Amino acid sequence: MERQVLLSEPEEAAALYRGLSRQPALSAACLGPEVTTQYGGCYRTVHTEWTQRDLERMENIRFCRQYLVFHDADSVVFAGPAGNSVETRGELLSRESPSGTMKAVLRKAGGPGTGEEKQFLEVWEKNRKLKSFNLSALEKHGLVYEDDCFGCLSWSHSETHLLYVAEKKRPKAESFFQTKALDVSGSDDEVARLKKPDQAIKGDQFLFYEDWGENLVSKSTPVLCVLDVESGNISVLEGVPESVSPGQAFWAPGDTGVVFVGWWHEPFRLGIRFCTNRRSALYYVDLIGGKCELLSDDSLAVSSPRLSPDQCRIVYLRFPSLVPHQQCGQLCLYDWYTRVTSVVVDVVPRQLGENFSGIYCSLLPLGCWSADSQRVVFDSAQRSRQDLFAVDTQMGSVTSLTAGEQGWRVGQPGQGWDWSSSMWGSTLGHSAPLTVPQPLLTVLRGLCLCRTLTQPADCLLALLCSLCPGTASARPPPYFSNPQNSVLPRSARVILPSPQTSGRGTSANPGRRSPGLAPSSSSYPGLMIMPLKCF
């Protein structure tokens, strides 16, 4: 295996770093609906979103690229990019309508250099921008939440309303010694009079509001908001309990109300971003009467509820609350009409061999349901890998959809596809060092699976120390073993420094090595073993 040499010149290191920063990373993928041409052929559009560092602008940029996949019943005929990449400047959230005819986009404009940041909610048709709403000017609420913890952008089933989460509007505050502006009329016989002031609370301009902590700074009290696309009217939903903060909301069957997750404010808000063990529950608020109903056990922690395509069942993740975070979770199913909750996949206390190790993910994909409303797809950690699984909600059986050492994650499927267990795939491209990594597309009917090939070496470690990492599953050495769990395997990343070099650009021992085995040659100054996952 070829080894790289430690760069001693700052210019060489800077050039290498600049080259590495030009490599984009795949952040999201969406598979469009099937289109039949006049000649009988079929194709789908794959929409991908990427992030890349721009060292000149000193920021991370986002751009999108489209791919066309022509296929028949059994195989892919042709797959390739369609046009050039386009930067998506200012786009915070986007969501297509259920029919696919419209798309809602939340966009920010302005910034520190131009004054206060503004947010616009745009509605697009296929070939034009249909409407644009200045949410900041309407002053119905604060900034819209775009994070994956609370944020959402959901079309109603009738495609007439949009649901989102925003910061609650706070009353204006001012000092007790605030000077009032005078309104002097142009007539000489009129006296100066005070302007009619807005309702402001005196002395509260420095009042502290507790926020939700890391990555959620300045987000304190979210509210559910509904935008009427036709009239442009915005309503802040009432009925949400004051003791919880709503998020991850979607429209209930028949658009009769809104289903959301509510997180308790007590004992504190700080740190929810990486703690899935916060007490929370599933709620339903009726739009007509404003009544709020509890749908799940309020002593546990829930996350990412997803409505089935037939609008009959809701699947969500459930975790024990007030325990160490990132533990194994349950996949629960709530029947909308019988009001019965059942556990589809329970906690796995210990992995046996290569069997399913349990659910270790904090969010379900937005499009995790199959078109027949029978199966749910999710990605979960399997030792040191991220594997893809499908679970039958009726039988409770879990099936692995991936194999090998590569990491997988779930993309966003389209609408109304037929789903079956048959799989057919195609490679859009391959990833070599210092080239743009193309997504590898595998099409299950109703699913879009995207992965990126693993780089042969960690870029940062290769840049700093010319290290060569590897992964292996093996039993730990005796001095690392736990007497109570001595038989459990573990996955580890082995980081081996480059051997001593006899000259610039040459290696004293260029031979290959097996991951997980310590070298016997004294030319290696040290060996680091980083445990990744142990079950």
Residue with tokens 């993910």: 361
**Which residue, 90, 140, 95, 156, is CA-closest to 119?**
90
Q: Taking the domains of the chain in order of start, what are their residue ranges?
A: 20-89, 90-170+212-298, 300-407
Question: At 163, which helix (H) or strand (E)?
Answer: strand 161-167
Amino acid at 335: D
How many residues in the chain? 535
Mean pLDDT per 10-residue section of the chain, whose length is 535 residues: 62 87 85 79 85 91 89 79 86 89 90 72 92 92 93 95 95 76 53 53 81 89 96 94 96 96 92 87 93 94 94 95 85 96 92 80 87 89 82 91 56 34 27 33 32 26 26 46 57 48 40 36 35 37
Q: Which pTM value belongs to this model?
A: 0.73
| 8 A C-beta contact, residue 90 and residue 109 | yes
Task: For the domain made up of 300-407, give the CATH fold.
Answer: Neuraminidase (2.120.10)
pLDDT score at 153: 96
The three-class DSSP label of residue 11 is helix
Taking the alpha carbons at both ends of the chain, their separation in whole angstroms is: 31
How buried is residue 364: exposed, middle or buried, by Cβ count under 10 Å (0-12/13-18/19+)? buried
User: By the 8 A CB rule, do 419 and 447 touch?
Assistant: yes
The residues, ordered by sequence, that sit 6+ positions from 533 with a Cβ below 8 Å of its Cβ are: 381, 383, 384, 490, 491
3-class secondary-structure state, position 100 = coil
pLDDT of residue 147: 92
Closest by Cα among 208, 116, 215, 226 to 164:
226
| C-alpha span between 415 and 38 (Å, rounded) | 22
CA-to-CA separations, 513 to 94, 432, 499, in angstroms, rounded:
47, 21, 12
DSSP 196-209: ----EEET-TT---
What is the per-residue pLDDT for 183? 54
* pLDDT at residue 129, rounded to an integer: 93
d(CA 220, CA 237) in angstroms, rounded, equals 17
**Within 13 A of 133's CA, how many CA atoms are on the CB side?**
21
Task: Domain 90-170+212-298: give its CATH code.
Answer: 2.130.10.10
Coil, helix or strand for 32?
A: coil
What separation in angstroms does the CA of 71 have from each of 39, 75, 78, 253, 444?
A: 13, 6, 7, 34, 12
Q: CB-based contacts of 299: which residues, under 8 Å, 6+ apart?
A: 279, 321
If residue 464 lies in a helix (H) or strand (E), which one and from where to where?
Answer: helix 459-465
3-state secondary structure of 495: strand
Query: What is the spatial distance between Cα 268 and Cα 284, in angstroms, rounded to a whole number?
Result: 24
Q: What is the C-alpha separation between 6 and 499, in angstroms, rounded?
A: 11
Q: Quote the tokens at residue 195.
A: 């302007």
